[in-house]
Amino acid sequence: MPVTVRTFASTGEAAAALSSDRGARYLGGGTLVMRALNEGDISISTIVRAHDHALTRVDATGSRVTIGAGVTFARILAERDLAFLHAAARSIGGPAVRNMGTVGGNLFASNPYGDFAVALLALDAVVSVQGGLGSRDVPIEEFLQTRERQTGTLALAVSFQKPASADAFRYRKIARIKPKGGSVITLAAHLPISSGRILSARIALGSMAATPIRARAAERALEGRTLDATTISAAAAAAVEGTSPADNALASGWYRREIVGVHLRRLLSGQE
């Protein structure tokens, strides 16, 4: 059975087509779905596309940022208002992949990919999804944890509060190949500071579990404290807690557990 391609003008129609067909996948930039087809994934029988302009909209002028799911990483890099996300966008693929890959697709990218989702998790983003029954907002953590069951839903956009300062959001990807390579581990931290103290810290880790996860113990070590050497040491020591990294060709789970604290320390202390 050849694959059927269905193209719709609105996301509503596309979502309906997705939810009514188990073999349907939404085609964003192609880096996941076309790869699966190239590798002989016959579970995909229908490709769904949508031409809705809302999918490629970026609203970053105010304090709340909304990025359409169809926005590419090249586009993120072209948006001055999204400078805090440039390190994360630049860490993905080479130029061609960044011209193709989308923010929405990255939410579905499994290890060792999906670095942008790590950044979004640290930003406490909300994912707007459209299912067969209408649209709703899902916290990104819940979205990621249930994404295996989300193939029938269409991600429309992500939105989050813009970090108050350039220093409040930090990102670091450890790869063996530079400047391009799959993630050994990926770290992102959002550290809102109020009166010198960290409030609502968010530490997100990629490749430390099946999906990006929050390092809650490290977050607790930071909460309400000043970002000094003692706090950083406590957070670094707690980084590995609750993680379950797997072995893959890039690194062993053991190695990931060994280095996650080291890199969290460097991230928090602003070391290169």
Stretch that binds other proteins, among 36-44, 121-129, 200-208, 237-245 (CB under 8 A): 36-44
- Say how many residues touch other proteins, by CB under 8 A: 30
CB nearer to other proteins: give 31 or 186: 31
**253 counts as binding other proteins under rule CB under 8 A:** no
Q: Which residue in 9, 83, 96, 133 binds other proteins (CB under 8 A)?
A: 96
**133 counts as binding other proteins under rule CB under 8 A:** no
**180 counts as binding other proteins under rule CB under 8 A:** yes
d(Cα 12, Cα 166) in Å, to the nearest integer? Answer: 37
For the chain, the three-class secondary structure string (H helix, E strand, C coil) is: CCCEEEEECCHHHHHHHHHCCCCEEECCCCCCHHHHHHCCCCCCCEEEEECCHHHHCEECCCCEEEEECCCEHHHHHHCHHHHHHHHHHHCCCCHHHHHHCEHHHHCCCCCCCCHHHHHHHHCCCEEEEEECCEEEEEEHHHHHHCHHHCCCCEEEEEEEECCCCHHHEEEEEEECCCCCCCEEEEEEEECCEECCEECCCEEEEECCCCCCEECHHHHHHHCCCCCCHHHHHHHHHHCCCCCCCCCCCCCCHHHHHHHHHHHHHHHHHCCC
Q: Which residue in 54, 77, 97, 259 binds other proteins (CB under 8 A)?
A: 97
Minimum distance between the CB of residue 49 and other proteins, rounded to whole angstroms? 8
Residues 48-87, interacting with other proteins (CB under 8 A):
49, 74
Q: Which residue in 23, 30, 192, 242 binds other proteins (CB under 8 A)?
A: 30
**259 counts as binding other proteins under rule CB under 8 A:** no
Burial of 1 (0-12, 13-18, 19+ CB in 10 A): exposed
d(Cα 171, Cα 123) in Å, to the nearest integer? Answer: 11
Q: Which residue in 16, 24, 47, 155 binds other proteins (CB under 8 A)?
A: 47
**29 counts as binding other proteins under rule CB under 8 A:** yes
Q: Which residue in 68, 93, 112, 206 binds other proteins (CB under 8 A)?
A: 93
**27 counts as binding other proteins under rule CB under 8 A:** yes
**9 counts as binding other proteins under rule CB under 8 A:** no
Q: Which residue in 12, 19, 34, 131 binds other proteins (CB under 8 A)?
A: 34
CB nearer to other proteins: give 77 or 193: 77
Residues that bind other proteins (CB under 8 A): 1-5, 7, 27, 29-31, 34-35, 37-40, 42, 44, 47, 49, 74, 93-97, 99-100, 179-180
